[in-house]
Amino acid sequence: MLSVSRVGQHCFLSTPAKRVVRRGVAARASAAMEKVNFGSGYGYEVGPKNAPAVVVIQEWWGVNDIIKEHAQLISEKGGFRCIIPDLYKGKVGVDKEEASHLMNNLDFKAAVGEVTDAVKYLRSSGSSKVGCVGFCMGGALTFAAAQHAGVDCAAPFYGIPDPAICDPASIKVPVQAHFGEKDTMKGFSDPESIHKVVDKMKAAGVPVELFMYPGSGHAFMNGLTEQGRAKIKEIGQAEPPESEPKEAFDRLIAFFKQHLA
């Protein structure tokens, strides 16, 4: 299995939202988000304080406008309270080299601790149930959050954790995983690797479901938003079929409504 710390050379993008989103959503998302402190870290929050909550874990770029769109749209479409822990403490990678440097310097065990603190904050301030979603690097951390952070459910997208931070077969909460059939990131998010992980989870009795998207490669959720599609073109990655990111997003919202209501 590919170490999380080595995924920087591959981990390009990740974004959940809705296909019809316009650029104005990014500005609205940033304006609507409140900076909050919790335990060992801080992050950005949106949505009603008494609603079920979702921790949205950044990908390797950091807390940029795209991940804020993620949280805003999950909140809007599902009625959830969302929080993005800022694992890079305000730093954002503007290119692949900088993003790789930031991610490779991240203490992943400490990052899981920050996610745990975010979950405790949400529960103590009005949210009775808390889920988690993340993409690429954040997907790997979402598996870890499912085991260690006290969430009620988790939805990892195209990211498998290093054994040093998570044993997916030991997870006890519902998991809905989303991966692309055309993902070539061997050992981290390719079809063969995730099928092996999920088979072990099922054998251990973990309540897990895996959705594979035949026309999509790595980071296919970027195809949902205008900013995400622009980022795909910027790095020269193939855009996924229009229907698959939307289908994944609809499944994500239904999953959270099922387990967090």
| Rounded-to-integer distance, Cα 226 and Cα 21, Å | 6
Burial level of 209, CB count in 10 A (0-12/13-18/19+)? Answer: middle
Q: Residue 210 and residue 183: Cα distance in Å, rounded?
A: 15
- Is the pLDDT at 7 greater than 60? The verdict is no
d(C-alpha 226, C-alpha 228), whole Å: 5
Rounded to two decimals, the pTM is 0.90
Residues 142, 166: Cα–Cα separation, whole Å: 10
Tokens found for residue 40: 């060992």
Q: Can you give the pLDDT at residue 28?
A: 57
Residue type, 206: V
pLDDT band of residue 237 (cuts 50, 70, 90) is confident
Confidence check: pLDDT of 206 > 60? yes
Share of the chain above pLDDT 90, in %: 77
Q: Which helix (H) or strand (E) element contains residue 44?
A: strand 41-46
**Mean per-residue pLDDT, 81-94:** 96
Query: pLDDT tens across 101-119, in order?
Result: 999 999 999 999 999 999 9
Structure token digits, residue 100:
């790789």
How large is the average pLDDT for residues 153-170? Answer: 98
Average pLDDT over residues 13-18: 35
Rounded to whole angstroms, the Cα distance separating 155 from 140 reads 10
Q: Calculate mean pLDDT across residues 141-145.
A: 98
